[in-house]
Amino acid sequence: MKRYKIAVIRGDGIGPEIIDEAVKVLDAVSAKEEFELSYDEYLMGGSAYDVKGTPLPDETIEGCLNSDAVLFGAIGGEKWDKLPRELRPESGLLKLRKALGVFANLRPTQVFDELVNASTIKPEVLKGVDLFVVRELTGGIYFGEPREKTPDRAYNTMVYTKEEIRRIAVIAFDSAMKRRKNVCSVDKANVLEVSQLWREVVEEVAKDYPEVTLSHMYVDNAAMQLIRNPRQFDVILTGNIFGDILSDEASMISGSIGLLASASVGGKVGLFEPIHGSAPDIAGQGISNPIATILSAAMMLRFALGETKAADKIEQAVKNVLKDGYRTKDLSALGAKEVCSTNEIGSIIADYVAKI
Query: Over 80: is that where the pLDDT of 211 sits?
Result: yes
pLDDT at 143: 87
> Would you state the pLDDT for residue 248?
85
State the catalytic residue, choosing from 40, 50, 174, 220. Answer: 220
pLDDT score recorded for residue 217? 98
CB atoms within 10 A of CB 238: 27
Q: Is the pTM of this model over 0.95?
A: no
- The pLDDT of residue 333 is 74
- Structural contact between residues 342 and 290, judged by C-beta atoms closer than 8 angstroms: yes
Q: Omega before 210 cis (within 30°)? A: no
Which pLDDT score is estimated for 245?
94
Band of residue 263 on the pLDDT scale cut at 50, 70, 90:
very high
The active-site residue, picked from 79, 142, 218, 351, is: 142
SS3 (DSSP) at 322: helix
* CATH code for the domain defined by 130-252: 3.40.50.2300
- What's the Rg (C-alpha) of the chain? 20
Catalytic residue among 68, 130, 248, 351: 248
Q: How confident is the model at residue 103 (pLDDT cuts 50, 70, 90)?
A: very high
Q: Select, from the ranges 248-252, 288-292, 331-335, the one with the highest average predicted confidence (pLDDT).
A: 288-292
Catalytic pick among 4, 12, 42, 188: 188
B/e letters for 275-285, b = 16+ CB within 10 Å, e = fewer, are bbbbbbebbee
**Range in 78-92, 145-159, 176-190, 320-334 with the lowest mean pLDDT:** 320-334
Cα–Cα distance for residue pair 201/168, rounded to 1 Å? 10
Residue 244 annotated to the active site: yes
**What does the pLDDT read at residue 332?**
81
pLDDT for position 337: 87
Concerning whether 248 is annotated as a catalytic residue, the answer is: yes
CA proximity to 345, closest of 82, 18, 122: 18
Phi-psi map region of 240: left, alpha, beta (phi>0 left; psi -120 to 50 alpha) = alpha
- 174 is annotated as an active-site residue: no
The neighbouring-strand residues paired with 136 are 104
Checking DSSP bridges between strand 2-11 and strand 271-274, what pairing results, if any?
A: unpaired
Question: Residue range 60-88: average pLDDT?
Answer: 96
Catalytic residue check, 188 = yes
How much of the chain, in percent, has pLDDT values that exceed 70? Answer: 100
Residues 10-16, mean pLDDT to the nearest whole number: 98
- Percentage of the chain beyond pLDDT 90 is 89
Which residue is catalytic, options 20, 68, 130, 244? 244
CATH number for the domain whose boundaries are 1-102+256-356: 3.40.718.10
Work out the number of other CB atoms within 10 angstroms of the CB of residue 240: 23
pLDDT at 315 over 90: yes
Compute the average pLDDT of residues 188-208: 98
The reply to whether 4 belongs to the active site is no
- What integer pLDDT is reported at residue 334 of this predicted model? 72
How does the average pLDDT of the chain come out, rounded? 95
Q: What is the mean predicted confidence (pLDDT) over 294-310? A: 97
Q: Encode pLDDT of 168-186 as tens digits.
A: 999 999 999 999 999 999 9
Domain residue extents for the chain: 1-102+256-356, 130-252
Given a cut of 80, whether residue 36 has pLDDT beyond it is yes
Nearest of 229, 246, 233, 257 to residue 183 by alpha carbon? 233
Digit-coded pLDDT (tens) for 249-260: 888 888 778 889
